[in-house]
Structure 1
Amino acid sequence: MVASIISQLPPESTRHSTVQVDEKSIDLSLTPTETESLTWIQRWRYVSPYMVTAIQSFMIQFISGLNDGNLGIILPSIKAHYGLSQYVVSIIFLCNALGYITAAILNGYLIKYFSQSKTALIGACSMIIGYLVNLFAVPFPIMCIFMMTIGFGIALTQAAANVVCGEMPYSMLMLSFLHAFYAGGALVGPLLASKLLSSQKTWNTSYMILCGLAGTNAISVFICYRKLRTDSEKELDAEKERVLQNHENSQQIQQQSQQQETNSSTTVTTAPVIEPDQESMTSKEDTHKNSNLLSQIFKYKITTIGSVFLCFYTGLEVTIGNWGYTFLINMRSTDTVAMAHLMTGYWSGICAGRLFLGFATSRFGEKRMVYCYLSTIVVMMILFWALPYVGANAMSLVITGCALGPIFPTMVSVAQRLVPNHLYATIVGFLSAFASAGTAIFPYASGILIGSEGVSSMLPFCIAVAATMLITWIFIPDPRPSSKFSAKVNSWMSQFGFWKRS
């Protein structure tokens, strides 16, 4: 399926300048008209070296989606098993959030001191530990602690998957497929959990399945990411090689100078002399470049504004996915299986949106299309709240899912074009990990609100979050203003210091 879609698209501009295919250099900055001569085989050979790491990244996202989709269905069973109130059971989401935020802070440092591949492996192993403990239905406080471990692992692996796919050719398409697999996992999660519960299985049975998948994922991460080097890591390797070469050249020049002084004490040598502090200055420059990563990435407004936007986005996405089922069985129908199928329709919409709306988003411009998506979400949430009919609610959920689908990969694609190469992995990793915190913070806040005001308060909360996203999107710069309107908005916002384009 990936190959068939790629065959219909021209190579988009990425961080890679050229690639050799059939002894012909393909310029990735060519326009669609100029790339019509490329054959399907040439385009497939162009992307095929990346497919192993792409498939592994898809697997990471699928398991992450399965985790989130499963939790929403088993939450009432966890509440009943431990005899908890709505307030207390919501602590699960808060603990997840702590894991995500910890990963957002540490991700850049882990990549710096280990590597992107080893950081992903650390995350995969953390997931195994968390699932292994929780499948034994341990006491609730212990369960919450290891929910942090699961959140930490998911955030690290998701960050790696976003970086890997963001650096591939056809990155917008690859990111759309990546996040479609998340939606696919979230689609399967409710079906799997409801099937297990309807078969009189306990809620922790689903964690047995997740633990097995996490183990498989850790092994495949080790194999598929073993030789992975991101663009920022390659750039750092090149700089280290340059410093080493300067050091060797300095030693050779000193040796030549000493030999000439020994052979002729009366002859004035004319050997080139390297500036004494050149090597130390280079080392200091490299040290400064790699130190205090957080202060460097926060110089770019896309980091702060983008992380807030994605935190709200994932919070809305998962709040609907987790608490939507609780809302439906309390406010619409007691048919638990049918209501689980409605939530499946929601995740199906997200999956479809990511698969089929990515091209339209690139074609008509990211800024314009995301405005349309967010406006649609607000309208559909209002209809979901106002119309007490299961059929109308099903339609609202599917359309909301379709509109939500392409927003995350679009944001990552926008960030890719606004940050320098050596900070790309750190910034996108931070965006992804911080966004994961939204999947816990907002469901937790929604749970507190439901506990105090009732389950009917969930939808006004979601409408407010969607409206806030719409406002926040105004402050995200357009990396390629394609209309006079976009250019005027960017110019006006720059005058007030909301962002710098470089």
Structure 2
Amino acid sequence: MTTLLLLIIYLAFISLGLPDALLGTAWPVMQLELDLPMEVAGVLSMTITSGTIISSLASGRLLKRYGTGKVTFISVLMTAAALLGFYLAPSLIWLIICAIPLGLGAGAVDTGLNDYVAINYEARHMSWLHSFWGVGASLSPIIMSQFILQGHAWREGYLTISIIQFALVAILFLSIPLWSKVAATEESQLNQAIEAEATASKTATKPLQVKGVKYALLTFLFYCGIEAGVGLWGSSFLVNIKNFDPAIAARWVSFYYGGITIGRFITGFITFKMSNKALIRTGQMTALIGTILLFLPLPQIFLMSSFVIIGLGLAPIFPCMIHETPANFGKQHSQVLIGYQMAAAYTGTTFVPPLIGLFAGQLTIAIFPPIAILLVAGMLFSSEKLNQINSVKSKQLSM
């Protein structure tokens, strides 16, 4: 039963990744058809991400009240309807209206499934789960580009992804009784664990008052800032500063995303031998080496390889950090805190890349590598401070 449910969760994470790269792929033709300025894509992107942040913050209460199965079903239904709305949208105002449920749906399902897997499955499943997100994020641009290359409108691409989402909605609807059965068998075990944690701590602490939470939130903000920043500005850096051909630059940035996806799949097997903390630290050090290589005046092969190294380094960090949440802060707080962590992550995705662009516009895109180094260094510092705090807490509990 739990294996079948895990397969459904994997499918849900593919669906979570499907809409993420659609707007960027379709925008050049969307802009022409709807006669919109280039910067409107940023407005739509921020609308989607703002909805995701809001639903991530509210997801703890929603999940406690309605359960993961129902929240996931409703969330994916919202994204499917929103994508259908993009297909039908006659103007910008309709695109903005549809962007709201697209963001709201993504945040709740992201938090719910991450929390469920963090509590009920081993670390390897969390890494593979986020690898499946990469499958969805890689698949949607392929689907959209095929429609555009064949002379069809971008709308057919959105319609196709919407149909895939509606098919998953049907699967999730049929699986709601399965969620209820599994939840019934696991609820008593979870309650016992929570009671044991409460007895051990002897005090009731609000989630945001737990020691180390702020450093965890900073780690997620820095992580998503560097992940999104490299994806958005890496190609511009190679073309404008290193004189790469745009097609070659785009290819190597795509290898960066491939490094993240493949790295997460491999991480699932490495978790048999290494702890989450060790994988997080190793990944951060690897990403730091990659950003330093990006900064140094080295031959092109080292420069291009740095993108793959950064991707491989980033691969284990996000899923392992999520999986460590119950261990770091207690199962009684994990659902709420994963929501807050997802909100911090989306905040990094939303604001860090535009800030890099702002500095680059005022100065030069050559500042991108040093900023990338600072972001990774900030992530490493925050993560190590969290480890230090948790080490002290463990010693105090054992006394």
Per the TM alignment, residue 467 of structure 1 is displaced from its structure 2 partner at its CA by: 2.0
Amino acid at match of 2:377: A
How much is the aligned-residue C-alpha RMSD, in angstroms?
3.6
1:121 aligns with 2:73: yes
Task: Select which of 310, 327, 333 maps to 1:400.
Answer: 310
The corresponding residue for 2:320 is: 410
Question: Could you tell which deviates more after superposition, 351-360 or 190-199?
Answer: 190-199
CA 1:477/1:181 → structure 2, altered by over 3 Å: closer, same or farther?
same
The corresponding residue for 1:234 is: 187
Q: Distance in 1 between matches of 2:28 and 2:291?
A: 23
Per the TM alignment, residue 57 of structure 1 is displaced from its structure 2 partner at its CA by: 1.6
Normalising by the residue count of structure 2, what TM-score does the alignment of the two structures yield? 0.81
Task: Select which of 309, 313, 338 maps to 2:219.
Answer: 309
Unaligned runs of 5+ in 1: 1-48, 240-292, 481-489
SS at match of 2:209: coil
Partner deviation per Cα, 1:244-297 (whole Å, 9 max, x = no partner): xxxxxxxxxxxxxxxxxxxxxxxxxxxxxxxxxxxxxxxxxxxxxxxxx9x822
Task: Select which of 22, 30, 45 maps to 1:93.
Answer: 45
* Bigger Rg over Cα: 1
Q: Distance in 1 between matches of 2:156 and 2:234?
A: 22
Q: Distance in 2 between matches of 1:457 and 1:194?
A: 32
1:68 aligns with 2:31: no
Amino acid at match of 2:170: I
Amino acid at match of 2:187: K
Partner deviation per Cα, 1:322-357 (whole Å, 9 max, x = no partner): 444555565654554x54433332222112211223
The corresponding residue for 2:127 is: 176
Amino acid at match of 1:313: Y
Q: Distance in 1 between matches of 2:294 and 2:151?
A: 31
Task: Select which of 214, 217, 227 maps to 2:168.
Answer: 217
CA 1:384/1:225 → structure 2, altered by over 3 Å: closer, same or farther?
farther
Partner deviation per Cα, 1:103-127 (whole Å, 9 max, x = no partner): 1221111123322222112211221
Partner deviation per Cα, 1:207-249 (whole Å, 9 max, x = no partner): 223212221222222222443254898259979xxxxxxxxxx
SS at match of 1:90: helix
* Contact 1:231/1:422 (8 A) holds in 2: no
Q: Distance in 1 between matches of 2:153 and 2:300?
A: 28
* Contact 2:57/2:339 (8 A) holds in 1: no
Q: Distance in 1 between matches of 2:279 and 2:91?
A: 46
Amino acid at match of 1:147: A
Task: Select which of 297, 321, 331 maps to 2:231.
Answer: 321
Q: Distance in 1 between matches of 2:137 and 2:86?
A: 19
Amino acid at match of 1:317: E
SS at match of 2:20: helix
The percent identity for this pair of structures is 21
CA 1:117/1:394 → structure 2, altered by over 3 Å: closer, same or farther?
same
SS at match of 2:178: coil
Per the TM alignment, residue 68 of structure 1 is displaced from its structure 2 partner at its CA by: 2.5
Q: How many residues are aligned here?
A: 384
The corresponding residue for 1:84 is: 37
SS at match of 2:206: helix
CA 1:366/1:238 → structure 2, altered by over 3 Å: closer, same or farther?
closer
Unaligned runs of 5+ in 2: 193-203
Task: Select which of 290, 297, 315 maps to 1:380.
Answer: 290
Amino acid at match of 1:69: A
Q: Distance in 2 between matches of 1:141 and 1:467?
A: 41
SS at match of 1:67: coil
Q: Distance in 2 between matches of 1:453 and 1:220?
A: 51
Q: Distance in 2 between matches of 1:138 and 1:173?
A: 44
* Contact 2:68/2:113 (8 A) holds in 1: no
